[in-house]
Structure 1
Amino acid sequence: MAEQHESSQGIPVGISACLMGEQVRYNGGHKRSRYCLEVLAERFRFEPFCPELEAGLGVPREPIRLVGALGEPPRVQGTVDPSLDVTDALAEVSRAFIEGHRHLRGFILMKGSPSCGLERVKVYHHNGMPSHSDAGAFVRELRRHFPELPLEEEARMNDAVLRENFITRVYAFDDWKRHVEAHPGYHALLQFHSRQKYLLMAHHVETYRELGRYLAESSKRPLDEVLAHYRQRFMAALARPATRKTHTNALMHVFGYLKEALDGETRQDLLASIEEYRLGHVALAVPVRLLNHYLKRHGSDYIREQTYLDPHPYELGLRNAI
Protein backbone atom coordinates (compact mmCIF):
# COMPACT_ATOMS: atom_id res chain seq x y z
CA MET A 1 0.00 0.00 0.00
CA ALA A 2 2.71 2.45 0.92
CA GLU A 3 4.50 1.62 -2.30
CA GLN A 4 1.41 2.52 -4.29
CA HIS A 5 1.32 5.95 -2.66
CA GLU A 6 4.82 6.98 -3.75
CA SER A 7 5.39 9.07 -6.81
CA SER A 8 8.00 7.91 -9.28
CA GLN A 9 10.14 10.87 -8.27
CA GLY A 10 9.92 10.29 -4.53
CA ILE A 11 7.91 11.96 -1.80
CA PRO A 12 8.88 15.65 -1.38
CA VAL A 13 10.39 16.21 2.08
CA GLY A 14 12.23 19.29 3.34
CA ILE A 15 15.55 18.95 5.13
CA SER A 16 18.04 21.22 6.85
CA ALA A 17 20.67 21.83 4.17
CA CYS A 18 23.60 20.92 6.44
CA LEU A 19 22.18 17.39 6.76
CA MET A 20 22.56 17.01 2.99
CA GLY A 21 26.28 17.64 3.33
CA GLU A 22 26.06 21.26 2.22
CA GLN A 23 28.72 23.41 3.93
CA VAL A 24 26.34 26.02 5.29
CA ARG A 25 27.00 25.89 9.03
CA TYR A 26 28.39 28.90 10.89
CA ASN A 27 31.90 27.38 10.83
CA GLY A 28 31.75 26.37 7.17
CA GLY A 29 31.06 22.74 8.02
CA HIS A 30 28.12 20.36 7.52
CA LYS A 31 26.32 17.57 9.36
CA ARG A 32 25.83 15.07 6.54
CA SER A 33 23.29 12.41 7.50
CA ARG A 34 24.11 8.94 6.18
CA TYR A 35 20.63 7.65 7.03
CA CYS A 36 18.91 10.43 5.11
CA LEU A 37 21.21 10.28 2.10
CA GLU A 38 21.80 6.54 1.88
CA VAL A 39 18.42 5.16 2.99
CA LEU A 40 15.63 7.72 2.90
CA ALA A 41 16.83 9.37 -0.31
CA GLU A 42 15.72 6.23 -2.15
CA ARG A 43 12.14 7.07 -1.15
CA PHE A 44 12.11 10.82 -0.50
CA ARG A 45 12.91 13.69 -2.84
CA PHE A 46 14.74 16.01 -0.47
CA GLU A 47 14.41 19.78 -0.76
CA PRO A 48 17.18 21.39 1.34
CA PHE A 49 16.80 24.74 3.09
CA CYS A 50 19.04 26.75 5.41
CA PRO A 51 17.06 29.63 6.94
CA GLU A 52 20.21 31.30 8.31
CA LEU A 53 21.81 31.42 4.86
CA GLU A 54 18.56 32.68 3.33
CA ALA A 55 18.35 35.39 6.01
CA GLY A 56 21.62 36.88 4.74
CA LEU A 57 24.12 35.34 7.14
CA GLY A 58 27.27 34.29 5.32
CA VAL A 59 29.56 31.28 5.64
CA PRO A 60 31.47 31.29 7.87
CA ARG A 61 29.54 33.59 10.20
CA GLU A 62 29.15 34.65 13.79
CA PRO A 63 27.11 32.02 15.64
CA ILE A 64 23.60 33.04 16.67
CA ARG A 65 21.51 32.00 19.66
CA LEU A 66 18.05 32.43 21.16
CA VAL A 67 17.81 35.22 23.74
CA GLY A 68 14.87 36.11 25.98
CA ALA A 69 12.95 35.58 29.19
CA LEU A 70 10.67 32.66 29.94
CA GLY A 71 7.20 33.25 28.53
CA GLU A 72 8.20 35.60 25.72
CA PRO A 73 9.14 34.82 22.11
CA PRO A 74 12.95 34.68 22.02
CA ARG A 75 14.99 36.95 19.79
CA VAL A 76 17.75 35.52 17.58
CA GLN A 77 21.00 37.40 18.16
CA GLY A 78 24.73 37.08 17.65
CA THR A 79 26.66 35.32 20.39
CA VAL A 80 29.47 37.92 20.23
CA ASP A 81 27.62 41.01 19.03
CA PRO A 82 24.06 41.20 20.48
CA SER A 83 23.26 44.03 18.06
CA LEU A 84 23.26 41.37 15.33
CA ASP A 85 19.54 40.58 15.48
CA VAL A 86 18.16 38.37 12.71
CA THR A 87 14.80 37.58 14.33
CA ASP A 88 12.70 39.42 11.76
CA ALA A 89 14.82 38.31 8.80
CA LEU A 90 14.53 34.65 9.85
CA ALA A 91 10.77 35.00 10.29
CA GLU A 92 10.44 36.56 6.85
CA VAL A 93 12.46 33.93 4.97
CA SER A 94 10.78 31.15 6.92
CA ARG A 95 7.30 32.34 5.98
CA ALA A 96 8.35 32.76 2.35
CA PHE A 97 9.70 29.21 2.33
CA ILE A 98 6.48 27.84 3.81
CA GLU A 99 4.28 29.62 1.27
CA GLY A 100 6.37 28.21 -1.56
CA HIS A 101 6.54 24.67 -0.16
CA ARG A 102 3.01 23.66 0.75
CA HIS A 103 3.63 20.53 -1.32
CA LEU A 104 6.05 19.09 1.27
CA ARG A 105 5.05 15.97 3.22
CA GLY A 106 7.54 16.45 6.07
CA PHE A 107 10.72 18.18 7.22
CA ILE A 108 13.87 16.72 8.79
CA LEU A 109 15.66 19.18 11.07
CA MET A 110 19.09 19.78 12.57
CA LYS A 111 19.25 19.16 16.31
CA GLY A 112 20.09 22.06 18.62
CA SER A 113 20.07 24.73 15.91
CA PRO A 114 18.72 28.18 16.92
CA SER A 115 16.82 28.14 13.64
CA CYS A 116 16.07 24.46 12.94
CA GLY A 117 16.06 22.79 16.37
CA LEU A 118 12.78 20.97 17.06
CA GLU A 119 12.96 21.23 20.84
CA ARG A 120 15.31 21.79 23.78
CA VAL A 121 17.22 24.59 22.05
CA LYS A 122 18.90 26.71 24.73
CA VAL A 123 17.51 30.18 25.32
CA TYR A 124 19.81 32.63 27.11
CA HIS A 125 19.15 35.59 29.40
CA HIS A 126 20.33 38.96 28.10
CA ASN A 127 23.19 38.63 30.58
CA GLY A 128 24.43 35.55 28.73
CA MET A 129 23.33 32.94 31.26
CA PRO A 130 21.17 30.00 30.13
CA SER A 131 17.48 30.55 30.88
CA HIS A 132 15.26 27.79 29.45
CA SER A 133 14.69 25.96 26.17
CA ASP A 134 12.45 26.42 23.15
CA ALA A 135 12.18 25.47 19.47
CA GLY A 136 14.28 27.13 16.80
CA ALA A 137 12.99 30.21 14.98
CA PHE A 138 12.23 28.38 11.72
CA VAL A 139 10.44 25.57 13.57
CA ARG A 140 8.21 28.05 15.39
CA GLU A 141 7.15 29.49 12.03
CA LEU A 142 6.48 26.00 10.66
CA ARG A 143 4.28 25.20 13.63
CA ARG A 144 2.44 28.50 13.31
CA HIS A 145 1.84 28.47 9.55
CA PHE A 146 2.07 24.77 8.56
CA PRO A 147 1.06 22.93 11.76
CA GLU A 148 0.09 19.65 10.11
CA LEU A 149 3.52 19.15 8.49
CA PRO A 150 5.35 16.19 10.08
CA LEU A 151 8.59 17.36 11.72
CA GLU A 152 11.48 15.39 13.20
CA GLU A 153 15.12 15.94 14.10
CA GLU A 154 17.62 13.76 12.28
CA ALA A 155 19.29 12.80 15.58
CA ARG A 156 15.98 11.70 17.14
CA MET A 157 15.51 9.22 14.32
CA ASN A 158 18.12 7.05 16.02
CA ASP A 159 15.15 6.10 18.21
CA ALA A 160 13.29 3.32 16.36
CA VAL A 161 9.85 4.39 17.61
CA LEU A 162 10.33 8.05 16.66
CA ARG A 163 11.80 7.05 13.29
CA GLU A 164 8.85 4.81 12.46
CA ASN A 165 6.39 7.42 13.70
CA PHE A 166 7.83 10.20 11.53
CA ILE A 167 7.92 8.10 8.36
CA THR A 168 4.40 6.84 9.02
CA ARG A 169 3.23 10.47 9.25
CA VAL A 170 5.01 11.39 6.01
CA TYR A 171 3.27 8.60 4.10
CA ALA A 172 -0.12 9.37 5.68
CA PHE A 173 0.23 13.05 4.79
CA ASP A 174 1.23 12.03 1.27
CA ASP A 175 -1.98 10.02 1.02
CA TRP A 176 -3.93 13.09 2.17
CA LYS A 177 -2.21 15.39 -0.33
CA ARG A 178 -2.72 13.01 -3.25
CA HIS A 179 -6.24 11.79 -2.66
CA VAL A 180 -8.05 14.43 -0.61
CA GLU A 181 -6.33 17.76 -1.11
CA ALA A 182 -5.86 17.15 -4.85
CA HIS A 183 -9.53 16.11 -5.30
CA PRO A 184 -11.40 17.71 -2.38
CA GLY A 185 -14.83 16.35 -1.57
CA TYR A 186 -16.80 14.58 1.13
CA HIS A 187 -16.47 11.25 -0.69
CA ALA A 188 -12.66 11.52 -0.94
CA LEU A 189 -12.48 12.36 2.76
CA LEU A 190 -14.65 9.41 3.75
CA GLN A 191 -12.54 7.07 1.63
CA PHE A 192 -9.37 8.41 3.26
CA HIS A 193 -10.82 7.91 6.74
CA SER A 194 -11.96 4.41 5.82
CA ARG A 195 -8.48 3.21 4.86
CA GLN A 196 -6.72 5.08 7.68
CA LYS A 197 -9.05 3.89 10.47
CA TYR A 198 -6.83 1.34 12.16
CA LEU A 199 -3.69 3.43 11.79
CA LEU A 200 -5.56 6.23 13.56
CA MET A 201 -6.80 3.78 16.21
CA ALA A 202 -3.24 2.58 16.87
CA HIS A 203 -2.06 6.13 17.54
CA HIS A 204 -4.97 7.63 19.48
CA VAL A 205 -8.21 5.74 19.94
CA GLU A 206 -10.03 8.81 21.33
CA THR A 207 -9.39 10.76 18.12
CA TYR A 208 -10.42 7.71 16.10
CA ARG A 209 -13.81 7.79 17.83
CA GLU A 210 -14.10 11.57 17.74
CA LEU A 211 -13.45 11.81 13.99
CA GLY A 212 -15.86 8.97 13.28
CA ARG A 213 -18.62 10.91 15.04
CA TYR A 214 -17.57 14.15 13.33
CA LEU A 215 -17.70 12.63 9.85
CA ALA A 216 -21.17 11.22 10.48
CA GLU A 217 -22.42 14.83 10.58
CA SER A 218 -19.87 16.36 8.22
CA SER A 219 -22.11 16.81 5.19
CA LYS A 220 -24.03 19.49 7.11
CA ARG A 221 -20.88 21.63 7.39
CA PRO A 222 -18.92 23.59 4.75
CA LEU A 223 -16.37 21.35 3.02
CA ASP A 224 -13.39 23.64 3.66
CA GLU A 225 -14.16 23.68 7.37
CA VAL A 226 -14.53 19.90 7.51
CA LEU A 227 -11.26 19.26 5.66
CA ALA A 228 -9.30 21.70 7.83
CA HIS A 229 -10.68 20.24 11.06
CA TYR A 230 -10.10 16.64 10.00
CA ARG A 231 -6.57 17.29 8.74
CA GLN A 232 -5.55 19.02 11.96
CA ARG A 233 -7.02 16.36 14.27
CA PHE A 234 -5.75 13.44 12.17
CA MET A 235 -2.16 14.66 11.92
CA ALA A 236 -2.09 15.65 15.60
CA ALA A 237 -3.21 12.13 16.54
CA LEU A 238 -0.53 10.50 14.39
CA ALA A 239 2.11 12.70 16.04
CA ARG A 240 1.51 10.67 19.20
CA PRO A 241 3.73 7.58 18.83
CA ALA A 242 1.79 4.33 19.06
CA THR A 243 2.63 2.01 21.97
CA ARG A 244 2.59 -1.77 22.35
CA LYS A 245 -0.77 -1.42 24.08
CA THR A 246 -2.35 0.68 21.32
CA HIS A 247 -0.82 -1.47 18.56
CA THR A 248 -2.18 -4.57 20.28
CA ASN A 249 -5.66 -3.04 20.32
CA ALA A 250 -5.47 -2.31 16.58
CA LEU A 251 -4.09 -5.79 15.83
CA MET A 252 -6.97 -7.41 17.71
CA HIS A 253 -9.50 -5.37 15.72
CA VAL A 254 -7.88 -6.49 12.46
CA PHE A 255 -7.84 -10.07 13.72
CA GLY A 256 -11.60 -9.80 14.25
CA TYR A 257 -12.08 -9.72 10.48
CA LEU A 258 -10.40 -13.12 10.17
CA LYS A 259 -11.44 -15.22 13.11
CA GLU A 260 -14.59 -16.68 11.52
CA ALA A 261 -12.67 -17.75 8.39
CA LEU A 262 -9.82 -19.55 10.16
CA ASP A 263 -9.59 -22.90 11.90
CA GLY A 264 -8.96 -23.04 15.62
CA GLU A 265 -5.26 -23.81 15.42
CA THR A 266 -4.58 -20.94 13.03
CA ARG A 267 -6.57 -18.54 15.22
CA GLN A 268 -4.50 -19.58 18.22
CA ASP A 269 -1.26 -19.05 16.30
CA LEU A 270 -2.32 -15.54 15.34
CA LEU A 271 -3.44 -14.69 18.87
CA ALA A 272 -0.17 -16.05 20.25
CA SER A 273 1.86 -13.82 17.93
CA ILE A 274 -0.14 -10.76 19.00
CA GLU A 275 0.35 -11.66 22.66
CA GLU A 276 4.09 -12.19 22.15
CA TYR A 277 4.25 -8.74 20.60
CA ARG A 278 2.28 -7.23 23.51
CA LEU A 279 4.74 -8.76 25.98
CA GLY A 280 7.73 -7.40 24.06
CA HIS A 281 9.05 -10.78 22.93
CA VAL A 282 8.79 -10.08 19.19
CA ALA A 283 8.71 -7.01 16.95
CA LEU A 284 5.52 -5.57 15.46
CA ALA A 285 6.48 -6.98 12.05
CA VAL A 286 5.77 -10.53 13.27
CA PRO A 287 2.00 -10.36 13.94
CA VAL A 288 1.49 -7.92 11.05
CA ARG A 289 3.17 -10.31 8.62
CA LEU A 290 0.98 -13.18 9.78
CA LEU A 291 -2.18 -11.11 9.56
CA ASN A 292 -1.29 -9.94 6.06
CA HIS A 293 -0.68 -13.55 5.00
CA TYR A 294 -4.19 -14.65 5.99
CA LEU A 295 -5.89 -11.44 4.93
CA LYS A 296 -4.70 -12.02 1.36
CA ARG A 297 -6.71 -15.24 1.36
CA HIS A 298 -9.66 -14.46 3.60
CA GLY A 299 -9.89 -10.72 4.14
CA SER A 300 -12.43 -8.34 2.65
CA ASP A 301 -11.39 -5.50 0.36
CA TYR A 302 -12.07 -3.09 3.22
CA ILE A 303 -9.63 -4.67 5.67
CA ARG A 304 -6.95 -5.37 3.03
CA GLU A 305 -6.93 -1.67 2.13
CA GLN A 306 -6.09 -0.55 5.66
CA THR A 307 -2.88 1.49 5.59
CA TYR A 308 -2.13 0.23 9.10
CA LEU A 309 -1.07 -3.08 7.59
CA ASP A 310 1.47 -1.45 5.28
CA PRO A 311 1.98 2.25 6.20
CA HIS A 312 5.43 2.59 4.61
CA PRO A 313 7.73 0.53 2.37
CA TYR A 314 8.45 -2.89 3.82
CA GLU A 315 12.07 -2.60 2.64
CA LEU A 316 12.76 0.13 5.21
CA GLY A 317 12.31 -2.50 7.93
CA LEU A 318 10.84 0.04 10.35
CA ARG A 319 8.55 -2.41 12.11
CA ASN A 320 11.39 -4.88 12.66
CA ALA A 321 12.75 -2.61 15.39
CA ILE A 322 9.59 -1.71 17.36
Structure 2
Amino acid sequence: MAITTSTRSVLDVAGAGSRAAARDTGALAGGRVVSGAARRKRRLPSAWHLFLIPVSVLFLLPFVQMFLASVSPEKELVSFPPPFIPSRIDFGGYEGLFTQSNILLWLLNTVIVSTVGIASHLVLCSLAGYGFARLKFRGRQVGMFAILATIMIPTQLLMIPTYILFSQLGLVNGLGAAIVPWLSSAFGIFLMRQFFLSLPAELEESGMLDGANRWQVFTRIILPLAKPALTTLAIFTLLGSWNDLVWPLIAINNDQAFTLQLGLANFQGTRRTQWALLMAGNVVATLPLIVFFLFAQKQFVQTMTLSGLKG
Protein backbone atom coordinates (compact mmCIF):
# COMPACT_ATOMS: atom_id res chain seq x y z
CA MET A 1 0.00 0.00 0.00
CA ALA A 2 1.39 3.36 -0.93
CA ILE A 3 2.36 5.87 1.74
CA THR A 4 -0.11 8.71 1.77
CA THR A 5 0.15 12.45 2.00
CA SER A 6 0.87 12.92 5.70
CA THR A 7 3.89 10.63 5.65
CA ARG A 8 5.30 12.32 2.58
CA SER A 9 4.73 15.66 4.23
CA VAL A 10 6.80 14.60 7.24
CA LEU A 11 9.71 13.64 5.01
CA ASP A 12 9.29 16.68 2.75
CA VAL A 13 9.27 19.05 5.70
CA ALA A 14 12.39 17.40 7.16
CA GLY A 15 14.21 17.56 3.83
CA ALA A 16 13.10 21.09 3.09
CA GLY A 17 14.15 22.23 6.54
CA SER A 18 17.65 20.81 6.18
CA ARG A 19 18.06 22.34 2.72
CA ALA A 20 16.83 25.69 3.90
CA ALA A 21 19.20 25.60 6.84
CA ALA A 22 22.08 24.87 4.50
CA ARG A 23 21.18 27.79 2.23
CA ASP A 24 20.48 30.27 4.98
CA THR A 25 23.12 32.93 5.54
CA GLY A 26 22.53 32.86 9.29
CA ALA A 27 22.53 29.82 11.58
CA LEU A 28 21.59 29.30 15.19
CA ALA A 29 24.52 28.30 17.37
CA GLY A 30 24.20 28.25 21.12
CA GLY A 31 21.05 30.39 21.02
CA ARG A 32 22.71 33.18 19.01
CA VAL A 33 22.29 34.09 15.36
CA VAL A 34 25.56 33.63 13.48
CA SER A 35 25.90 35.79 10.37
CA GLY A 36 27.25 34.63 7.03
CA ALA A 37 30.51 36.50 7.63
CA ALA A 38 30.97 34.77 10.97
CA ARG A 39 30.35 31.38 9.38
CA ARG A 40 32.94 32.07 6.69
CA LYS A 41 35.38 33.17 9.35
CA ARG A 42 34.74 29.98 11.27
CA ARG A 43 35.71 27.92 8.23
CA LEU A 44 39.14 29.53 8.09
CA PRO A 45 42.11 27.40 9.21
CA SER A 46 42.34 27.10 12.97
CA ALA A 47 45.06 26.12 15.38
CA TRP A 48 44.03 22.49 15.00
CA HIS A 49 45.24 22.54 11.41
CA LEU A 50 48.79 23.15 12.65
CA PHE A 51 48.55 19.72 14.24
CA LEU A 52 46.36 17.89 11.71
CA ILE A 53 48.31 18.85 8.58
CA PRO A 54 51.65 17.34 9.76
CA VAL A 55 49.80 14.23 10.95
CA SER A 56 48.12 13.90 7.55
CA VAL A 57 51.46 14.22 5.80
CA LEU A 58 52.89 11.58 8.14
CA PHE A 59 50.13 9.12 7.22
CA LEU A 60 50.44 9.94 3.51
CA LEU A 61 54.21 9.54 3.41
CA PRO A 62 54.32 5.70 3.20
CA PHE A 63 51.99 5.65 0.20
CA VAL A 64 54.03 8.37 -1.54
CA GLN A 65 57.22 6.44 -0.91
CA MET A 66 55.59 3.24 -2.20
CA PHE A 67 54.49 4.98 -5.39
CA LEU A 68 57.91 6.55 -5.95
CA ALA A 69 59.54 3.16 -5.43
CA SER A 70 57.21 1.63 -8.02
CA VAL A 71 58.45 4.08 -10.68
CA SER A 72 62.12 3.97 -9.68
CA PRO A 73 64.84 2.18 -11.65
CA GLU A 74 65.75 -1.21 -10.24
CA LYS A 75 69.37 -0.21 -9.63
CA GLU A 76 68.35 2.64 -7.34
CA LEU A 77 66.05 0.39 -5.30
CA VAL A 78 68.83 -2.08 -4.47
CA SER A 79 71.33 0.66 -3.58
CA PHE A 80 71.89 1.67 0.05
CA PRO A 81 70.42 3.93 1.13
CA PRO A 82 67.78 3.97 -1.64
CA PRO A 83 66.92 7.49 -2.81
CA PHE A 84 63.50 8.81 -1.81
CA ILE A 85 63.00 10.63 -5.13
CA PRO A 86 64.08 8.63 -8.21
CA SER A 87 66.48 10.17 -10.70
CA ARG A 88 64.09 9.27 -13.52
CA ILE A 89 60.61 7.83 -13.92
CA ASP A 90 60.62 4.17 -14.95
CA PHE A 91 57.34 2.30 -15.47
CA GLY A 92 59.10 -1.01 -15.93
CA GLY A 93 57.66 -2.23 -12.64
CA TYR A 94 54.09 -1.79 -13.85
CA GLU A 95 54.92 -3.29 -17.22
CA GLY A 96 56.43 -6.35 -15.57
CA LEU A 97 53.51 -6.63 -13.16
CA PHE A 98 50.91 -6.83 -15.91
CA THR A 99 52.98 -9.10 -18.17
CA GLN A 100 54.56 -11.50 -15.65
CA SER A 101 51.60 -12.07 -13.34
CA ASN A 102 47.84 -12.63 -13.40
CA ILE A 103 47.18 -9.30 -11.72
CA LEU A 104 44.06 -8.63 -13.82
CA LEU A 105 42.56 -12.00 -12.85
CA TRP A 106 43.38 -11.40 -9.18
CA LEU A 107 41.86 -7.96 -9.39
CA LEU A 108 38.71 -9.32 -11.03
CA ASN A 109 38.33 -12.02 -8.35
CA THR A 110 38.75 -9.43 -5.61
CA VAL A 111 36.19 -7.13 -7.21
CA ILE A 112 33.71 -10.02 -7.38
CA VAL A 113 34.29 -10.96 -3.74
CA SER A 114 34.02 -7.35 -2.54
CA THR A 115 30.94 -6.57 -4.66
CA VAL A 116 29.03 -9.64 -3.46
CA GLY A 117 30.14 -8.97 0.11
CA ILE A 118 29.02 -5.33 0.04
CA ALA A 119 25.65 -6.17 -1.54
CA SER A 120 24.90 -8.98 0.92
CA HIS A 121 26.02 -6.88 3.89
CA LEU A 122 23.76 -4.00 2.89
CA VAL A 123 20.76 -6.33 2.57
CA LEU A 124 21.25 -8.80 5.42
CA CYS A 125 22.77 -6.47 8.01
CA SER A 126 20.20 -3.74 7.42
CA LEU A 127 17.33 -6.24 7.78
CA ALA A 128 18.79 -7.80 10.92
CA GLY A 129 19.74 -4.43 12.41
CA TYR A 130 16.25 -3.06 11.84
CA GLY A 131 14.71 -6.15 13.41
CA PHE A 132 16.80 -5.83 16.55
CA ALA A 133 16.20 -2.07 16.74
CA ARG A 134 12.44 -1.88 16.16
CA LEU A 135 10.73 -5.27 16.29
CA LYS A 136 9.58 -6.55 19.67
CA PHE A 137 10.08 -10.30 20.02
CA ARG A 138 11.08 -12.71 22.73
CA GLY A 139 14.81 -13.15 23.16
CA ARG A 140 15.76 -10.00 21.26
CA GLN A 141 18.31 -8.81 23.82
CA VAL A 142 19.77 -12.29 24.26
CA GLY A 143 20.05 -12.74 20.51
CA MET A 144 21.81 -9.40 20.08
CA PHE A 145 24.20 -10.22 22.91
CA ALA A 146 24.97 -13.61 21.34
CA ILE A 147 25.74 -11.96 17.99
CA LEU A 148 28.04 -9.40 19.61
CA ALA A 149 29.76 -12.16 21.60
CA THR A 150 31.00 -13.70 18.36
CA ILE A 151 33.16 -10.62 17.81
CA MET A 152 35.19 -11.53 20.90
CA ILE A 153 36.10 -14.98 19.54
CA PRO A 154 39.61 -14.95 18.03
CA THR A 155 39.57 -15.64 14.31
CA GLN A 156 42.35 -18.23 14.68
CA LEU A 157 40.05 -20.47 16.73
CA LEU A 158 37.55 -20.61 13.89
CA MET A 159 39.94 -21.45 11.08
CA ILE A 160 39.98 -25.25 11.44
CA PRO A 161 36.23 -25.80 12.00
CA THR A 162 35.41 -23.35 9.22
CA TYR A 163 37.76 -25.12 6.83
CA ILE A 164 36.20 -28.50 7.70
CA LEU A 165 32.72 -27.08 7.11
CA PHE A 166 33.69 -25.50 3.79
CA SER A 167 35.40 -28.72 2.73
CA GLN A 168 32.24 -30.72 3.39
CA LEU A 169 30.24 -28.17 1.38
CA GLY A 170 32.72 -28.35 -1.50
CA LEU A 171 33.66 -24.65 -1.33
CA VAL A 172 37.43 -24.91 -0.83
CA ASN A 173 39.83 -24.08 -3.68
CA GLY A 174 37.19 -21.90 -5.29
CA LEU A 175 36.05 -18.32 -5.27
CA GLY A 176 33.10 -19.28 -3.07
CA ALA A 177 35.49 -19.86 -0.17
CA ALA A 178 36.38 -16.17 -0.23
CA ILE A 179 32.79 -14.95 -0.78
CA VAL A 180 30.78 -16.82 1.87
CA PRO A 181 32.57 -15.41 4.97
CA TRP A 182 31.71 -11.88 3.82
CA LEU A 183 27.97 -12.37 3.33
CA SER A 184 27.23 -10.85 6.76
CA SER A 185 28.95 -9.86 10.00
CA ALA A 186 28.12 -9.17 13.63
CA PHE A 187 29.66 -5.72 13.45
CA GLY A 188 27.50 -4.83 10.44
CA ILE A 189 24.33 -5.83 12.30
CA PHE A 190 25.42 -3.81 15.35
CA LEU A 191 26.26 -0.75 13.25
CA MET A 192 22.90 -0.74 11.48
CA ARG A 193 21.03 -1.36 14.74
CA GLN A 194 22.72 1.63 16.38
CA PHE A 195 21.85 3.87 13.45
CA PHE A 196 18.21 2.76 13.33
CA LEU A 197 17.89 3.46 17.06
CA SER A 198 18.96 7.06 16.40
CA LEU A 199 16.04 7.65 14.02
CA PRO A 200 12.78 9.01 15.53
CA ALA A 201 10.07 6.39 15.80
CA GLU A 202 7.46 8.99 14.81
CA LEU A 203 8.42 8.57 11.16
CA GLU A 204 7.46 4.90 11.23
CA GLU A 205 4.32 5.53 13.25
CA SER A 206 3.20 8.12 10.71
CA GLY A 207 3.62 5.66 7.87
CA MET A 208 1.72 2.92 9.71
CA LEU A 209 -1.12 5.30 10.50
CA ASP A 210 -1.42 5.93 6.77
CA GLY A 211 -1.79 2.20 6.16
CA ALA A 212 1.74 1.20 5.21
CA ASN A 213 2.96 -2.17 6.45
CA ARG A 214 6.30 -2.78 8.14
CA TRP A 215 8.08 -3.65 4.89
CA GLN A 216 6.89 -0.47 3.15
CA VAL A 217 7.97 1.62 6.13
CA PHE A 218 11.39 0.00 6.06
CA THR A 219 11.99 0.34 2.32
CA ARG A 220 10.36 3.74 1.68
CA ILE A 221 11.08 5.66 4.88
CA ILE A 222 13.93 4.07 6.85
CA LEU A 223 16.33 2.98 4.10
CA PRO A 224 16.45 6.40 2.34
CA LEU A 225 17.41 7.93 5.69
CA ALA A 226 20.05 5.25 6.30
CA LYS A 227 22.31 6.13 3.36
CA PRO A 228 25.18 7.36 5.61
CA ALA A 229 25.10 4.14 7.64
CA LEU A 230 24.89 1.99 4.52
CA THR A 231 27.85 3.84 3.02
CA THR A 232 29.88 3.32 6.17
CA LEU A 233 29.00 -0.37 6.21
CA ALA A 234 30.09 -0.60 2.58
CA ILE A 235 33.44 1.00 3.46
CA PHE A 236 34.14 -1.46 6.29
CA THR A 237 33.07 -4.42 4.17
CA LEU A 238 35.24 -3.29 1.26
CA LEU A 239 38.28 -2.86 3.52
CA GLY A 240 37.82 -6.28 5.09
CA SER A 241 37.10 -8.27 1.93
CA TRP A 242 39.68 -6.45 -0.19
CA ASN A 243 42.53 -6.91 2.30
CA ASP A 244 41.61 -10.41 3.48
CA LEU A 245 44.64 -12.69 3.26
CA VAL A 246 44.68 -15.26 6.07
CA TRP A 247 41.48 -17.13 5.18
CA PRO A 248 42.06 -17.22 1.39
CA LEU A 249 45.61 -18.40 2.09
CA ILE A 250 44.16 -21.41 3.94
CA ALA A 251 41.12 -22.18 1.80
CA ILE A 252 42.29 -21.43 -1.76
CA ASN A 253 45.09 -23.31 -3.51
CA ASN A 254 43.81 -22.82 -7.05
CA ASP A 255 45.73 -19.98 -8.71
CA GLN A 256 42.69 -19.20 -10.90
CA ALA A 257 40.74 -18.28 -7.75
CA PHE A 258 43.44 -16.17 -6.11
CA THR A 259 42.36 -12.84 -4.71
CA LEU A 260 44.55 -9.77 -5.04
CA GLN A 261 46.22 -10.04 -1.64
CA LEU A 262 46.77 -13.78 -2.00
CA GLY A 263 48.19 -13.36 -5.49
CA LEU A 264 50.57 -10.62 -4.40
CA ALA A 265 51.72 -12.73 -1.45
CA ASN A 266 52.60 -15.63 -3.76
CA PHE A 267 54.02 -13.23 -6.33
CA GLN A 268 56.27 -11.72 -3.71
CA GLY A 269 57.52 -15.13 -2.65
CA THR A 270 58.88 -15.88 -6.13
CA ARG A 271 60.28 -12.39 -6.88
CA ARG A 272 61.77 -11.12 -3.67
CA THR A 273 64.36 -8.86 -5.30
CA GLN A 274 62.13 -7.22 -7.92
CA TRP A 275 61.03 -4.41 -5.65
CA ALA A 276 59.62 -2.24 -8.43
CA LEU A 277 57.13 -4.98 -9.37
CA LEU A 278 56.17 -5.54 -5.74
CA MET A 279 55.66 -1.84 -5.09
CA ALA A 280 53.61 -1.52 -8.26
CA GLY A 281 51.38 -4.38 -7.08
CA ASN A 282 50.89 -2.71 -3.71
CA VAL A 283 49.93 0.56 -5.41
CA VAL A 284 47.35 -1.25 -7.54
CA ALA A 285 45.93 -2.94 -4.42
CA THR A 286 45.80 0.23 -2.31
CA LEU A 287 44.68 2.94 -4.73
CA PRO A 288 41.04 1.74 -5.18
CA LEU A 289 40.49 1.79 -1.41
CA ILE A 290 41.78 5.35 -1.10
CA VAL A 291 39.61 6.58 -3.97
CA PHE A 292 36.51 4.87 -2.57
CA PHE A 293 37.04 6.34 0.89
CA LEU A 294 37.57 9.86 -0.46
CA PHE A 295 34.16 9.72 -2.14
CA ALA A 296 32.44 8.26 0.94
CA GLN A 297 34.17 10.05 3.81
CA LYS A 298 31.32 12.52 4.43
CA GLN A 299 28.79 9.74 5.02
CA PHE A 300 31.35 7.86 7.11
CA VAL A 301 31.83 10.77 9.53
CA GLN A 302 28.09 11.38 9.71
CA THR A 303 27.39 7.77 10.68
CA MET A 304 30.06 7.77 13.38
CA THR A 305 28.37 10.85 14.86
CA LEU A 306 24.78 9.58 14.75
CA SER A 307 25.28 5.94 15.71
CA GLY A 308 27.35 6.51 18.85
CA LEU A 309 30.45 4.72 17.51
CA LYS A 310 32.81 7.65 17.88
CA GLY A 311 36.25 6.88 19.22
Say whether the fold is shared (TM-score over 0.5): no
As a proportion of its length, which structure holds more helix? Answer: 2
Greater relative contact order (Cα < 8 A, sep 6+): 2
- Structure of larger gyration radius: 2
TM-score by length of 2: 0.25
As a proportion of its length, which structure holds more strand? Answer: 1
